Amino acid sequence: MLQGTGVSMALPWLSSMTPAFAGKPDEKSAAPKRFVAMTLGLGLIGDNLNPAIAGRDYKPSRYLKSAQDLRDQITVVSGSSHPGVKGGHRAEASILTATAMGSAGLVRNTISLDQYLAKHLGDATRFPSLVLSNGGSTSPSYTENGSMIPPEDSPSALFAKLFIDNSARQRDLQADRVRQGRSIMDLVGEDAKSLSRELGSGDRDRLDAYFTSVRDLEKRMAANERWAKMPKPKVDAKRPVDIGNGSDLIGRQRMMSSVIKLALQTDSSRYITYHIPGAGGVIPIKGVDEGYHGLSHHGRDEEKLSQLALIETEMINAWADFLRDLQSTNEATGNLLGNTAVFMTSNLGNSSNHDNRNMPVLLAGGGFRHGQHLAFDQKNNYPLPNLYVSILQRMGMPVDTFATSTGTMTGLEMAT
């Protein structure tokens, strides 16, 4: 009961608080390192995404032709997946945790990559992380205790939280809420300490782990008391108007991406996850007249594959435009793309048969040496969690493992 309360008080409380901004980075110091994960619920057609040959001299695939100006900023990875992860759509929960949930989803999930970063490095900004969606109530972001973090799916609401100031009275109320929360946790802590004297050693260990999480949360809440009274950043952009058509995934993707860029530029958050689920409606793209989810179950039907390719091409184009926006935004050292690792993947390698192997993987920016296709075994997949270790190390985390990793990703080097 105490542990469950700790989870509910931790991340949902922080994500519901009015955002502010972290102020301008010190001009004399290096720009902060950031991470953005864009995850897809219905995958990408591998034959259209992955180049035919490995290495740096690959010929661009159908999906990557329009992104050749970004070639030296992108790494394509094929033949990788999360060891032991199955379950088709259910594996959305495993995208960033790499935890095998079992065919019935009975296994408790673990912390996701973005939340691991936020836990250890997220205290420098108003938002330790932002969890976003293109529609729907699910996300691939999970707390240390395996609780899914509900996403924000409105670009307009996100913009308002980031950049539209509350009144002075509302800011005082926000700070008051933080202080009240800390007082409640003090009371719970006293009760729990009394309880611990009556517990066995195993339960005492579990309670100690709970106290550790409470102490971490108290530190965050103390910081948020300060943020609650600070004004928000001013940006040269208007509040977006949400797209009413829930099937317009590409339009929504572009709109949310523009707000994500502003969040990074103002250092409001450094760790952002954006999930694009599989909508059932017809996406408004010329040449597409069947529902997206239905097209994903193509069964190798040529007409369905043709329409699905039109949709996925536009998704990659929107992703590439997001990269260009980051690249064109200069910082004290380099540009936003060079200081932001942008990761795209999906739980599905083949949406038609719900296969979780051979996941689509694109990595851009973030100070890695890109411009290559890392092609691993399509039958005996390479562990994708190795890439997560590489990302964590690039972010400055002194770790050697994450989930089922066996080390860092072979062939992926950091830029000098």
Residues 280 and 213 in one domain: no
H or E element that contains 12: helix 2-16
Contact status, residue 282 vs residue 292, Cβ threshold 8 Å: yes
Residues 216 and 250 in one domain: no
Is the residue at 246 inside a domain? yes
**Is the pLDDT score of 15 beyond 50?**
no
- How big is the CA angle at 315 (ends 309 and 320), to the nearest 5 degrees? 125
Domain count, the chain: 2
Residues 315 and 278 in one domain: yes
Is the residue at 415 inside a domain? no
Contact status, residue 271 vs residue 114, Cβ threshold 8 Å: yes
pLDDT digits (tens, 9 = 90+) for 321-342: 999 999 999 998 899 999 999 9
Range of the domain at 247: 34-165+237-394
Can you give the pTM of this predicted structure? Answer: 0.83
Is the residue at 410 inside a domain? no
Residues 107 and 81 in one domain: yes
pLDDT digits (tens, 9 = 90+) for 368-387: 999 999 999 999 999 999 99
**Is the pLDDT score of 226 beyond 80?**
no
Is the residue at 176 inside a domain? yes
Q: Give the pLDDT confidence score for residue 185 in this predicted structure.
A: 55
Residues 260 and 331 in one domain: yes
Is the residue at 267 inside a domain? yes
Residues 286 and 356 in one domain: yes
Contact status, residue 308 vs residue 295, Cβ threshold 8 Å: yes
Residues 155 and 176 in one domain: no
- The DSSP line for 154-209 is -HHHHHHHHHSPPPHHHHHHHHHHHHHHHHHHHHHHHHHHHHHTTS-HHHHHHHHH
Q: Which residue has the tokens 């739980």?
A: 347
Lowest mean pLDDT among 38-42, 347-351, 363-367: 347-351
User: Mean pLDDT, the chain, as a whole number?
Assistant: 85
Q: Which residue has the tokens 């469950």?
A: 4
Is the residue at 210 inside a domain? yes
Is the residue at 402 inside a domain? no
Residues 92 and 133 in one domain: yes
Residues 301 and 356 in one domain: yes
Is the residue at 3 inside a domain? yes
Strand order in the sheet with 372-375: 130-133, 271-276, 34-40, 340-346, 361-365, 74-78, 372-375
**Is the pLDDT score of 188 beyond 70?**
no
Q: Answer with the one of 230, 249, 274 that is the final residue of a domain.
A: 230
CATH number at residue 93: 3.40.720
pLDDT digits (tens, 9 = 90+) for 72-127: 999 999 999 999 999 888 899 999 999 997 655 567 899 999 999 999 999 899 99
Residue 193's CB is within 10 A of a number of other CB atoms, namely 11
Residues 17 and 89 in one domain: no
Residues 46 and 175 in one domain: no
Q: CA torsion, points 317, 323, 325, 326, in degrees to nearest 10?
A: 170
